[in-house]
Amino acid sequence: MEGESVEPPKKNFGITLTFILYGVASLLGWNALLTKLDFFSFYLEGMKPSISFSFLNFILNILFQYLLIIKKDLFPLKLQLIGGIVGSIFFLLAIPTSTMFLEKDSIINYIVTGGLVFLMGFINGLASGGFFNFVSYFPLELIVSFSAGQGFSGIAMNVLEYLVLVFVTGKEEKYLIIRAWIFFGSSILILVICLILLFCNYNSEFCKFYLSKATEKSDIPEGSLVRDSQLNEEEQGIINDQENKIEDDKNTNENNLTGCSAFIVIFKKIWDLNLIMIYIYIVTFALFPNASIGQNLFDLERYNVITIITIYNVFDTVGRYLVNIMPKTKLFNNIICLGRSILLFTLVFNWYCRDVLEVDLTITSILLILNVAILALTNGIGTTLCFGIAPNLVDNEYKGLAGTALSLFLIIGIFLGSCVGFGVDAIIGLFKKDQN
């Protein structure tokens, strides 16, 4: 009957686990490459993969996510998700293969491998934009599960790297190759499992119920942000925080907008979340990984890098889950995200204590761990709150567009943060030279 509400399907543990694995799949391809930078640095030392890979990847990633926004019907959503996973599998085979079989440190190796990393930006944009589009139609607790899965993706890669280093210990090139194939082969297996789950789950009654909202007009009463049953009592805080963002559909004719016009209207409603997303990742990448990893915890070379990255990934994942028990308001999110700026000063202070004042390494290591942990915790909280709040500020059919827009600004934040990070790292390096 018209006006009669339809009860949403019940969520079970299997659904939650599936969304966690979607989060893993959305970032695993890129996380795998970043975790094995020691392998690529061995064969492409002159190319400096730790710097060049990120910048090569950003170009098509940003451009394609922007294209997904202004041409929101360019690819069917299911094709975006499948293409993101299948493409990640392909590049996790192609990139290490070209690296090891072409001449070490040769121009042709730089061109071929660099070209593949460049093209992978398209796949990363497809995966990231597609999955954030997809999960934006679902209840907040599943958005949190997806976000936590992205944290688990980094943890899984670092645990896998630890295990490979422990069980394959040789330092010769042949052992480096064996470790690489075990690592990338295991990563591909995880992606295959995620792909199978996607095929099994996408057409389920649970997914169909929420994805059907993409074709429904908004049922929001004027001046209110209550949408269906997606907001529980704790989440009602978002209503008081955001009522000034609601505009009359009769004036904007939002439901008939497409392309750039739709993006502009949606951007007006979530512009502040987009800017906060950029700021989150400028701060994060200004301090991590380069500036943090440069301050050694231990004199254990490769283990030092994995240890710091694992600490970061664990606390980032914890932060994403903590959103379940936190206020879901812009005010709270702004306090968390802007307040973490102080970590820039605490990291520099830690370097000063260790290298200038020559404070004991144990103390400065503890301070570094705390700095990285708080940075990661607030990164996870801020990112998840942005993605959880934004879909509730727009009409049903534009929830996915809001998710993809935030994903685009996240990548822009990472790019800008990486530039700042290299600057911070260079400044610390100059001070170190002066001290020497």
Tokens of residue 198, six digits: 């996607």
- Quote the CA–CA distance of 299 and 435 in Å, as a whole number: 20
| CATH topology classification for 237-436 | Growth Hormone; Chain: A; (1.20.1250)
| pTM higher than 0.85 | no
Neighbours of 144 (CB within 10 A): 24
Going from N- to C-terminal start, the domains of the chain cover 12-215, 237-436
User: What are the pLDDT tens digits along the chain (436 aa)?
Assistant: 444 556 777 778 888 999 999 999 998 998 898 888 889 989 998 887 877 888 888 888 998 888 888 876 778 888 999 999 999 999 999 999 999 999 998 999 999 999 999 999 999 998 988 899 999 999 888 999 999 999 999 889 888 988 998 888 888 888 999 999 999 999 999 999 999 999 888 888 888 888 886 655 544 433 333 344 444 544 455 544 444 444 444 444 444 455 677 778 788 889 999 999 999 999 988 887 766 665 555 444 555 677 788 888 999 999 999 998 989 899 999 999 999 999 988 887 887 887 778 778 778 778 888 888 999 999 999 999 999 999 888 888 788 888 888 998 998 988 888 788 777 667 766 666 565 5
Place of tokens 């899984």: 156
Contacts of 332 by beta carbon, 8 Å cutoff, 6+ apart: 237, 326, 385
- The set of long-range contacts for 99-105, using a CB threshold of 8 Å and a minimum separation of 24, is 99/39, 99/40, 99/43, 99/44, 100/43, 100/177, 100/180, 104/42, 104/43, 105/43, 105/44, 105/45, 105/46, 105/47
Q: Tens digit of pLDDT for each residue in 67-88?
A: 888 876 778 888 999 999 999 9
- Superfamily grouping for domain 12-215: MFS general substrate transporter like domains (1.20.1250.20)
Same fold, 12-215 and 237-436: yes
Query: In a 10 Å sphere around its CB, with 0-12 CB exposed, 13-18 middle and 19+ buried, how is residue 199 labelled?
Result: exposed
- Are the C-beta atoms of residues 212 and 121 closer than 8 Å to each other? no
CA 73 → CA 105, 259, 391, distances in Å? 42, 9, 18
